[in-house]
Structures are given as C-alpha cells and as structure tokens.
Chains A and B, each alone.
Chain A
C-alpha cells in the first residue's frame, strides 16, 4: 500500500495562475481532508469530504475549491493563486464510522510558493 500520496511535491506559481493539487489514497477510506501548514499556525483545515461526491468547508476555505468524484481521490484547486496561499499543503484520510479511533493518515505534503 502506498497510503496517501500527493502530487506534485513542489510547485511555484505566479499570482493569478491556477492549479490543482491531487491527493490519492489506496486504503479505501471514506473521509478525506485538505490542510495547510504555515509557520507558527499549526495545521488548519481547508476543506474535507465524508464520502464520494460530498465536500464541506473547513476553517480556511476561501480561495480554494475541492472535488471528490472518486472515493480514492480528493482534488484541491486554486483558481487564482495569491501570495497568501504560499504554504505547505497536506492531505489526509481516515476510515469511515468505526468508532474506535479517529486518527487521520497524512500524505507527505506539497510545498507551494506563489510569487
């Protein structure tokens, strides 16, 4: 199992450009999440999904869109990148309602710089 993978690992964008970050998991997990990590801020939830075809807003959703067309993939889109979106982006997933643990499994991250 590859676990949670993220594509690309690094990207530099110019202000106003668009891009899509891809997250894929091979663990048949129901729930998937997108976070951003900034210095001194911890991880903040951008959007999440509780199942194929569903998405919901997290703590910092502005400027981002997401889609979950397939259970194993969760896409994060930036329509018009801004320097404030320079960050490290992490995807995570976890099984559905199991009740025993709520741990999330994280990908390796995507480092995005917007100039």
Chain B
C-alpha cells in the first residue's frame, strides 16, 4: 500500500523554465511533508519542507505547495538549472504515529541546457 505516490517517474525541462514535481498521498493523518534531492551515488539531501498548517513555503528557487483537500503537494523549481538534474523524493510524516518518514518512489528530473 503506497501511501505516498509520485506518479511521474521522470520529467525533462529546458533550462530556465519551470519544473513542477508532483506528489499525492492517501493518509489524511500526514501533517508534515518534505522534499529531498538525490544525486547518483550520494545520499538524499533535504530541500524544503511544509507543515500541514500552511499551503505554501518558499526557499529561493524552490516553492512547495500543499493542497490538503486534494492530498496533493507539488515542488516548483524556477528557474530550472542543469545542476537541478537529480531524483526528487517527497516524504510525509504523521507525528502522532511516531517519528518516521514515508517516502515516495521518486521522480527523475533532467534539465536540458
């Protein structure tokens, strides 16, 4: 039972354009969400997070949007750069059931120069 889903395994965008990565979840108890970025042969690195009491959080070129009624979050990268090419994982946490993250399966982003 995949509680966090990233339905697009890959995405390709032109440098300078917007990248939009999507994530859906099924567990309505999730109350904190994170995005991680992973380069090959490295561990994931934290990118940005959002609490369920917010609907938007920005950090430089990265913005995460949360739509609780739709159980959907998205990561926007503007403008996209070739160095953003990586696998992006969304993760969710239900604080009431313990300090554990549930990860999606990842989306591979390729930014074309």
Contacts and interface: CB of A to CB of B under 8 A. Distances in A.
Interface of A: 4, 31, 35, 40-45, 48, 50, 56, 58-59, 90, 92, 101-109
A109 B32 contact: no
B60 interface: no
B1 to A, nearest CB: 11
Interface of B: 4, 6, 9, 32, 34, 36, 41-46, 49, 89, 91, 93, 98-106
A108 B49 contact: no
B43 A42 contact: no
Contacts of A45: 100-101
A3 to B, nearest CB: 9
B43 A102 contact: no
A102 B93 contact: yes
A108 B46 contact: no
Contacts of A107: 43
Given A42-B89, A102-B34, A48 B49 contact: no
Contact of B43 (A48, A59, A106): A106
A42 B35 CA distance: 13
Contact of A50 (B32, B34, B99): B99
A90 B34 CA distance: 17
